[in-house]
Amino acid sequence: MPTSLRAVDLDFIDSAKHRVTVSHVLPASPDVVFAALAEDPAGWGAWFPGFTDAGRYLTPGPHGVGSQREVFARGSRFLETVLAWEPGRRWAFRVDEAGLPAVRALAENFLLTPEGSGTRVDYTMAQETSPGFVGGLIIRFAGGQLRKALKNLGTHLTSSDRA
């Protein structure tokens, strides 16, 4: 059953009690990486563990800050709002609704930096959990999933010949 999460802004990404950041260099330009992250919600099913290819924007384009999208992962629907849209540089969103009863707030941030012939991605997940819930445990698990997702994205971009 979907739960409404607390609406947060970009400051939450730095101030949340529970945060994890993973970094990975992808073999594609910042613009190509940004397009895969921000412009193709259905494409997440090809590289993010547990996601389906049913993601889509609910608001009409052009997309940017304030746009809403829905994605499906591990049998749950996630309704998200874009917090940052800087092509080739940064993309961030918060989760507004999800089937995560112990999570009160959740935001994710992708910083893209050119590195060599590719792009360094610093991917941060920030969350607030219900009192008494071990939020740090979820974040440690999430860190492994985020690392795997970025590695998969690099493989996907290379195999798709999008780089």
- Give the tens place of pLDDT for each residue, 66-113: 999 999 998 899 999 999 999 999 999 999 999 888 889 999 999 999
Question: 40 — phi, psi (to 5°)?
Answer: -130, 70
pLDDT computed for residue 86 by the predictor: 98
How many structural domains compose the chain?
1
61-72 confidence digits (pLDDT tens): 999 999 999 999
CA atoms within 13 A on the CB side of 1: 2
Distance CA 31, CA 33 (A): 5
What are the b/e assignments for 133-152, b being 16+ CB within 10 Å?
eebeebbeebbebbeebbee
Domain that holds residue 149: 3-159
Which CATH number goes with the domain that contains 81? 3.30.530.20
Spell out where 9-162 has E strands: 18-26, 56-57, 68-73, 76-86, 90-98, 103-115, 118-129
Q: What pLDDT, on a 0 to 100 scale, did the predictor assign at position 93?
A: 98
Instruction: Specify the DSSP element, H or E, that contains 138.
Output: helix 135-159
